[in-house]
Amino acid sequence: MRHVADIPYPQVKITLLAWNGKYLLKLEQGPLEQTYKVADLDLSGIAPPDVEIRQLLDDEFLAAAVARFQLMQQDMRAAFARHDLR
């Protein structure tokens, strides 16, 4: 797995990795992680792959990802509560 870039964003850590003909777009917030896979073949090839993938990270995508992290956190808290953990 090759590290391609760290992409700055205030609410989440974003890392772009290349692996096995795919790019992995990894978003992290605390103990939670979302990973999106983008195949080389899904890119147009007009611009460098990291440039095209950064275009996917528009305001709408990032707002939805941040909201999803909040839902993931709620799900985790609820699971812990159901089983009297923590």
In the chain, where are the structural domains located? Answer: 2-82
pLDDT in tens, 40-79: 999 998 999 899 999 999 999 999 999 999 999 999 999 9
Confidence of residue 39 (pLDDT cuts 50, 70, 90): very high
- Residue 19's closest CA among 56, 57, 49? 49
Name the average pLDDT for the chain: 96
CA dist 65 and 73 (Å) reads 12
Burial of 15 (0-12, 13-18, 19+ CB in 10 A): middle
Q: What global pTM score does this model have?
A: 0.91
Per-residue confidence (pLDDT) for residue 86, from 0 to 100: 73
Is residue 16 over pLDDT 80? yes
